[in-house]
Every structure is written in structure tokens, then in C-alpha cells.
């Protein structure tokens, strides 16, 4: 394994160097950087050209310039742009927003895409499967900039107007309830009667809930409250235990998960002062502590026999409970955020990655970046979402037709164990490589999305550089983007080799 990783690293390094050379030659030739200077009146022209030539080393041959760039880049100096500003400083300023956007889009696309893909494969050729397939194809074919503009012009404005007076019309309530009811009933296997019952109960339940929320003006000042948090945490514990080891209320796994949920609920009270305005570091620390405590709970309650499943279920439940508490805090901060003098009741923003000069509590700042991220992320992740869904579905179906899955069924394993232990584990192996392929597409999509939403981030950094024929910012962009692609490809290869011994040993 170590030789494999070493070999992979060595190859990646050379590939990256070769790509940087190609990129440099292209970047230098993309446009004449002196074209503006040449248009100056006679007196200033020579001086301007001489200054630019000196600053950008235009009098050196391309390869000499490449090695000068490389030598500087290796020491961490990315040079200056045409105006003489330090590229390092510009990069540091533009970089965080893009990373936020890319991370949000990747994580959401992976989670939603894989979940939907798995469900779609488990219900092959059902109404759900056909709908998912069709929607995925539409997502493949949507131009990012078109969707982005639509979201910006209609969704943002309408949503903000609605949030000013958040009441749901009866038709909207009916529509949402019916869609959710249909989705729930189509996930079920069973005869028509069960499905109709599930459809009826979910639709009516959902409609009542929405009506109550709308009537109490919950959307204007949202929050979950301790009862809902507790119920959700317990439901999460039951669901995770069912996934990990099957539905059995007496099993140690279930007890461990429920204990994790209980500890989480108690902590949401006990940590009240800490959670009022935490720093990001505190939050990360809390996540680590949660995992640690849940590990201990699972270890202790699970005993010799159920240790593994108890630890998994407890950690999943703990993190889930944490996420619910996090959501609750965010929702509670919403009313104050929305009323803030810089927001003025329009929380869904369409320009830039954050409100300039906005300052508030940790939760308000999170809400601010969330309000700015939500539409660009939606526009950006559509394509990736479709790719993950289709790929996961195909991979799952391929595995489901394997002989060992038939063997697993034949020896009497229940469907849950077949799916989670045998199909899911092997079906997800090819999906790991997809993350690497997808990152390149996402970076391209981010450049376009940022243009649509007027973000001053990496995308603008690149497009401005191409328009001006300025090679240093282009190379800086390449270092980050190409570096990410090489890194993800390498991680995917190593992960693949780790998960599938046939690759490693051949």
C-alpha cells in the first residue's frame, strides 16, 4: 500500500508540473498585455511599455519566465499582477468565498445525490425511479447561468416578499402536502392499500402542520423548541439504529443510540450560555467531544457483542442531535437577523458572498452567509446532483445483479442487511472516483455562478486576468484549482485501492 501511495504521489507531481507548463504557455499567449499601453499618446507610451515589460518580464523568453515563476511559486511568492498588486494578497482575499461555495455544493450534491440514487435503484422502474431519472436528465441539461439568473430574479425576490408576510395560501399548502405524500408513499413497497393509507395520512398530517405553522406566523420567527428537538433526536436514534442493526427496541444498539440522543438533549440545556455566541473553534471542539462521548456510550452499552453497531449508531445519533440543535439556534436567530438595519427584511441576497460591514452574533453571521450561499449553491449543484444520482443508481443496480447478493438473500438475510452490508458497501466504491471527476466541473461551474451572482471571488479573479492577458493571477488560479483536481484524483485512487484490493495488488 505504501509503495502504491508513493508511486501515485510521484506521478501526480510530474503531471501537475507538466500541466503548469501547458497552462503557463497558454496564459502568456492569451492576449497581448501591452495593447492598452500601445494606445497611449506618444509621450507616455514608451514609459508605460517599459514599466510593464520590466514588471512582467516580457523581455525574457517564455521558458525563462516559466522557470522564474516556478522558482518563485516554490518559495510561496505568486508574483504581481499587471497593476503591480501582490497576487498572494488578492488570492487570500478572494479564496475563502469560493471555497465556501464549492464545499457547500459538493457536500450537498454528494449527500442528496447518493441518497436519491440509492432510493431510485432500490425502487427500480417505479414512478419514483422514472421521476428521478427525468429530473436528473433535466438537471444535466440546464445551463448554470440561466438557472442562476432565474433564481436571482424570481426566487430571491418572491421569497423575500413572502417572508415579509409569511402566510401560506391554501393552494400552496395543498400542493406541498400532496407532493410530500406522493414522495413518501412511492418509497414504500407494498400493495395499493398500504400506499394509499400512507399517502392519505402524510398528506393530511403535512397539511395540518403547514396550516398551523402559517396561522401562528412561525415562518416570521421560527425555532424548534425543546419538545420538537427531543422528538426529532429520538426519531433519529430509532432510524439510525434501524439502519445499522434493525428495528429492535430491546437491543443494546438501540439503548446506546437513545442514550446518545438523551445526552444531546441535556447538553442543549446545559450548554445554553456557550451556545449563545460560540466561535467556530468552540463548535468544532463540541463536535469532537460529541463523537468522543458517543463512542464511549456505544462502547459501554454495546458490550462485547454489540460494540461495533452500538458505537456507529450512537455516533450517528449524537451528530444528528447536534445538527438539530444547531438548526434550532440558527432558526431562533432568524427574527433578529431579518430585522437588522443592514438586512431590512430581505434575508435572501443575490449579490456577493456576504453583507458588507455586517456584524452580529455567530448565528447571525452564519445566517448571513447562508442567505448569500443558498441560491448560488442551488444553481451550482444541479449538474453534480444529477451526476451523483445517475452514477449511484447505475452502480447500485450493477451490484444488485451480482451473484453474492443473490447468495446473501438465499442464506436468509433480511433486505436491510443485504442492502446496507452487501450492496451499499460495494456499490459506493466506484462513486468515490466520481468526487475527483466532479471537482473539475464544479470549479468551472463556480466561475460562471460567481459571475451571475456578482461575487468578487476566484471566478472574477480568473476572468479579469484572461480579459487583460495577465498571466500571474491565471497561474495562481491554476495552482489552487489544478492542485485541488490532482489532490482529489490522488485521494480517489488511493481510496479505491484501499477499498478494492484487486487494484492495489495488480
Give Cα separations from 117 to 128, 141, 310, 396 (angstroms).
11, 18, 27, 8
| Cell matching residue 369 | 452567509
Please report how close the Cβ of residue 406 comes to another protein at its closest, in angstroms: 9
Neighbours of 89 (CB within 10 A): 11
Our finding on whether 69 is near another protein (CB under 8 A) is no
Distance CA 260, CA 255 (A): 9
Please report how close the Cβ of residue 475 comes to another protein at its closest, in angstroms: 11
Our finding on whether 26 is near another protein (CB under 8 A) is yes
Neighbours of 460 (CB within 10 A): 16
Answer whether 86's CB lies under 8 Å from 76's CB.
no
Q: Is the dihedral of CA 83, 89, 91, 96 positive or negative?
A: negative
Our finding on whether 16 is near another protein (CB under 8 A) is yes
| Cell matching residue 63 | 521558458
Our finding on whether 434 is near another protein (CB under 8 A) is no
Our finding on whether 409 is near another protein (CB under 8 A) is no
Our finding on whether 138 is near another protein (CB under 8 A) is yes
Q: Is the dihedral of CA 314, 315, 317, 321 positive or negative?
A: positive
| Nearest Cα to Cα of residue 420 among 262, 175, 246, 201 | 246
Our finding on whether 19 is near another protein (CB under 8 A) is yes
Residues in the chain: 506
Which residues are 80's β-sheet partners?
86
Which residues are 86's β-sheet partners?
80
Residue 330 or 400: the one with the smaller Cβ distance to another protein is: 400
Residue found by looking up cell 440561466 in the block? 146
Please report how close the Cβ of residue 198 comes to another protein at its closest, in angstroms: 23
Residue 327 or 463: the one with the smaller Cβ distance to another protein is: 463
Residue 125 or 269: the one with the smaller Cβ distance to another protein is: 125
Our finding on whether 487 is near another protein (CB under 8 A) is no
Residue 221 or 464: the one with the smaller Cβ distance to another protein is: 464
Q: Is the dihedral of CA 383, 386, 391, 394 positive or negative?
A: negative
Segment interacting with another protein, rule: CB under 8 A, options 168-176, 242-250, 285-293, 396-404 = 396-404
Answer whether 87's CB lies under 8 Å from 458's CB.
no
Q: What single-letter DSSP state applies at residue 80?
A: B
10, 63, 67, 146: which one binds another protein (CB under 8 A): 146
Segment interacting with another protein, rule: CB under 8 A, options 12-20, 270-278, 292-300, 309-317 = 12-20
Distance CA 339, CA 85 (A): 39
Our finding on whether 354 is near another protein (CB under 8 A) is no
Our finding on whether 91 is near another protein (CB under 8 A) is no
Residue found by looking up cell 465556501 in the block? 100
Segment interacting with another protein, rule: CB under 8 A, options 47-55, 206-214, 218-226, 475-483 = 475-483
Our finding on whether 410 is near another protein (CB under 8 A) is no
Our finding on whether 430 is near another protein (CB under 8 A) is no
Segment interacting with another protein, rule: CB under 8 A, options 188-196, 216-224, 256-264, 446-454 = 446-454
Number of residues that bind another protein (CB under 8 A): 52
Please report how close the Cβ of residue 82 comes to another protein at its closest, in angstroms: 16
Strands, E, within 128-233: which ranges? none
Binding site for another protein (CB under 8 A): 11, 14-16, 18-19, 22-23, 26-27, 29-31, 124-125, 134, 137-138, 140-146, 149, 153, 394, 397-398, 400-401, 440-441, 443-445, 447-448, 451, 462-463, 466-467, 474, 477-478, 481-482, 485-486, 489
Amino acid at each position: 500500500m505504501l509503495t502504491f501511495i508513493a508511486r501515485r504521489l510521484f506521478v501526480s507531481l510530474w503531471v501537475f508540473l507538466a500541466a503548469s507548463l501547458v497552462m503557463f504557455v497558454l496564459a502568456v499567449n492569451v492576449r497581448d498585455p501591452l495593447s492598452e499601453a500601445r494606445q497611449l499618446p506618444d509621450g507616455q507610451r514608451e514609459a508605460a511599455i517599459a514599466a510593464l515589460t520590466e514588471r512582467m518580464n516580457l523581455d525574457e523568453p517564455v521558458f525563462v519566465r516559466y522557470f522564474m515563476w516556478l522558482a518563485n511559486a516554490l518559495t510561496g511568492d505568486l508574483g504581481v499582477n499587471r497593476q503591480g498588486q501582490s497576487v498572494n494578497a488578492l488570492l487570500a482575499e478572494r479564496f475563502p468565498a469560493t471555497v465556501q461555495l464549492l464545499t457547500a455544493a459538493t457536500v450537498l450534491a454528494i449527500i442528496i445525490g447518493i441518497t436519491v440514487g440509492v432510493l431510485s435503484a432500490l425502487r427500480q422502474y417505479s414512478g419514483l425511479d422514472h421521476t428521478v431519472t427525468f429530473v436528473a436528465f433535466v438537471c444535466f441539461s440546464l445551463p448554470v447561468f440561466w438557472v442562476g439568473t432565474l433564481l436571482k430574479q424570481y426566487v430571491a425576490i418572491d421569497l423575500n416578499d413572502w417572508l415579509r408576510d409569511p402566510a401560506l395560501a391554501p393552494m400552496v399548502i395543498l400542493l406541498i402536502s400532496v407532493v410530500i405524500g406522493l414522495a413518501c408513499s412511492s418509497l414504500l413497497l407494498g400493495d395499493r392499500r398500504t400506499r394509499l393509507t400512507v399517502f392519505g395520512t402524510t398528506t393530511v398530517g403535512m397539511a395540518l402542520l403547514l396550516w398551523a405553522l402559517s396561522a401562528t406566523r412561525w415562518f416570521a420567527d421560527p425555532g424548534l423548541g425543546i419538545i420538537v428537538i427531543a422528538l426529532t433526536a429520538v426519531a433519529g436514534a430509532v432510524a439510525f439504529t434501524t439502519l445499522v442493526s434493525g428495528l429492535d427496541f430491546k437491543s443494546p444498539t438501540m439503548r446506546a443510540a437513545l442514550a446518545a440522543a438523551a445526552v444531546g438533549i441535556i447538553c442543549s440545556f446545559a450548554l445554553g450560555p456557550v451556545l449563545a455566541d460560540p466561535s467556530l473553534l468552540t463548535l468544532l471542539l463540541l463536535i469532537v467531544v460529541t463523537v468522543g462521548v458517543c463512542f464511549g456510550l456505544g462502547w459501554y452499552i454495546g458490550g462485547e457483542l454489540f460494540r461495533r453497531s452500538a458505537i456507529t449508531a450512537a455516533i450517528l445519533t449524537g451528530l444528528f442531535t447536534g445538527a438539530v440543535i444547531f438548526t434550532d439556534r440558527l432558526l431562533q436567530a432568524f427574527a433578529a437577523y431579518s430585522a437588522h438595519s443592514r438586512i431590512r427584511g430581505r434575508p435572501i441576497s443575490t449579490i456577493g458572498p456576504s453583507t458588507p460591514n455586517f456584524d452580529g452574533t455567530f448565528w447571525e453571521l452564519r445566517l448571513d452567509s447562508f442567505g448569500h450561499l443558498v441560491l448560488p449553491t442551488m444553481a451550482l449543484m444541479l449538474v453534480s446532483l444529477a451526476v451523483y444520482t445517475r452514477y449511484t443508481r447505475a452502480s447500485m443496480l450493477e451490484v444488485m445483479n451480482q451473484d453474492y447478493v443473490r447468495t446473501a438473500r438465499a442464506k436468509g438475510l433480511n433486505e436491510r442487511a443485504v442492502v446496507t452490508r452487501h450492496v451499499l458497501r460495494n456499490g459506493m466504491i466506484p462513486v468515490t472516483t466520481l468526487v475527483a471527476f466532479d471537482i473539475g466541473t464544479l470549479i468551472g461551474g463556480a466561475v460562471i455562478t460567481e459571475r451571475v451572482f456578482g461575487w468578487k471571488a476566484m471566478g472574477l479573479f480568473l476572468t479579469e486576468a484572461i480579459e487583460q492577458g495577465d498571466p500571474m493571477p491565471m497561474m495562481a488560479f491554476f495552482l489552487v484549482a489544478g492542485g485541488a483536481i490532482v489532490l482529489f484524483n490522488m485521494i480517489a485512487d488511493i481510496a479505491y485501492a484501499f477499498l478494492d484490493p484487486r487494484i492495489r495488488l495488480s
